């Protein structure tokens, strides 16, 4: 019978060292240590293009996505039971209307501009199904969201809407979500992370001062990608240059002075 090889001290430490992947972030102050736990410093990024319409009471996404997944490439166990409805408005005008629908429904949701280069849309609206309650409950919410979108937009104009599992980043790294699974090593790592990172309050809301900033970012983003519906919210965002192709606009050739040119 083959004897099991014992790990040296270095390799043993590597298996339980949860500081190595986040050491630089701790030094920069993105996260900090207190009372034997690691805390995330920024809960509501000021320049985020997303509006947290209704906070999600059963998610801990700051820890699960931004720490556990981004730093350690592990899909946290709760994310296996995370289903969300995604609607895809085509314009910033429609995005504003999705925000209205979310506010009217009063369920955990967010909406905003899509700045991730690997996502093939410009805008998105998300509703979160109750965590761990399964597909049946998630599909009921999907049907209700679709009904409300049809009420707002009409049958033909309602944005395309789907039901997905977990975060896009997780499927990009781990593959299709129906194929996800854990082994002993991941089980141990997940338990270490749960014990080492402070839970973040699930009822945090965007500060009220962030709303005007976020909505104006939507309008500026729309203008930058040629979505002309932005003009409904700001008719002239940036003045157009004066075009001299065919018109002089009162400027004669001799009036044009070249500064720093050759005087001879």
Separation in Å, CA 46 to CA 50, 135, 156, 208, 213: 10, 34, 36, 11, 8
Does residue 173 belong to any structural domain of this protein? yes
Does residue 240 belong to any structural domain of this protein? no
Distance CA 110, CA 127 (A): 7
Q: How many domains does the chain have?
A: 1
Does residue 17 belong to any structural domain of this protein? no
pLDDT tens string 40-54: 676 666 778 999 999
Please give the DSSP secondary-structure letter assigned to residue 178: G
pLDDT tens string 115-157: 999 999 999 999 999 999 999 999 999 999 999 999 999 999 9
Cβ-based burial of 41 (10 A; exposed 0-12, middle 13-18, buried ≥19) = exposed
Give the max Cα distance, the chain: 98
Does residue 163 belong to any structural domain of this protein? yes
Does residue 13 belong to any structural domain of this protein? no
Does residue 16 belong to any structural domain of this protein? no
What is the model's pLDDT at position 17?
84
What is the model's pLDDT at position 208?
80
Pairing of strands 123-128, 109-113: antiparallel
pTM over 0.75: yes
What is the model's pLDDT at position 207?
76
Residue partners of 235: CB distance under 8 A and separation at least 6: none
| Structural domain for 110, as ranges | 49-183+199-232
Specify the CATH number for the domain of residue 170.
Answer: 3.30.70
What is the model's pLDDT at position 192?
94
Separation in Å, CA 86 to CA 36, 107, 109, 151, 250: 38, 14, 10, 17, 53
Does residue 245 belong to any structural domain of this protein? no
Mapped onto helix, strand or coil, the DSSP state of residue 226 is coil
Task: Point out the residues of the chain with pLDDT beneath 70.
Answer: 1-4, 31, 40, 42-45, 201-204, 253-264
């Amino acid at each position: 019978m083959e004897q099991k090889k014992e790990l040296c001290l270095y390799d043993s430490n590597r298996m339980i060292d949860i500081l190595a992947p986040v050491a630089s972030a701790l030094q920069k102050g993105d996260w900090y240590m207190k009372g034997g736990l690691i805390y995330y410093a920024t809960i509501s990024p000021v320049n985020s293009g997303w509006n947290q319409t209704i906070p999600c009471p059963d998610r801990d996404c700051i820890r699960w996505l931004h720490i556990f997944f981004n730093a350690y490439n592990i899909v946290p166990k709760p994310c296996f039971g995370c289903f969300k409805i995604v609607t895809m408005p085509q314009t910033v005008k429609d995005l504003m209307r999705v925000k209205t629908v979310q506010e009217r429904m009063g369920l955990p949701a967010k909406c905003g501009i899509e700045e991730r280069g690997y996502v093939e849309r410009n805008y998105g609206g998300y509703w979160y199904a109750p965590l761990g309650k399964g597909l049946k409950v998630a599909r009921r919410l999907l049907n209700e969201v679709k009904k409300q979108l049809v009420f707002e937009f009409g049958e033909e104009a309602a944005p395309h809407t789907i039901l997905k599992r977990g975060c896009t980043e997780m499927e990009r790294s781990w593959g299709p979500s129906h194929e996800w699974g854990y082994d002993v090593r991941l089980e141990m790592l997940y338990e270490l992370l749960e014990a080492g990172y402070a839970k973040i309050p699930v009822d945090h809301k965007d500060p009220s001062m962030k709303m005007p900033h976020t909505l104006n970012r939507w309008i500026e983003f729309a203008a930058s990608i040629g979505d002309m519906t932005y003009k409904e919210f700001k008719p002239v965002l940036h003045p157009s240059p004066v075009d001299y192709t065919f018109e002089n606009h009162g400027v004669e050739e001799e009036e044009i002075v070249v500064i720093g040119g050759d005087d001879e």
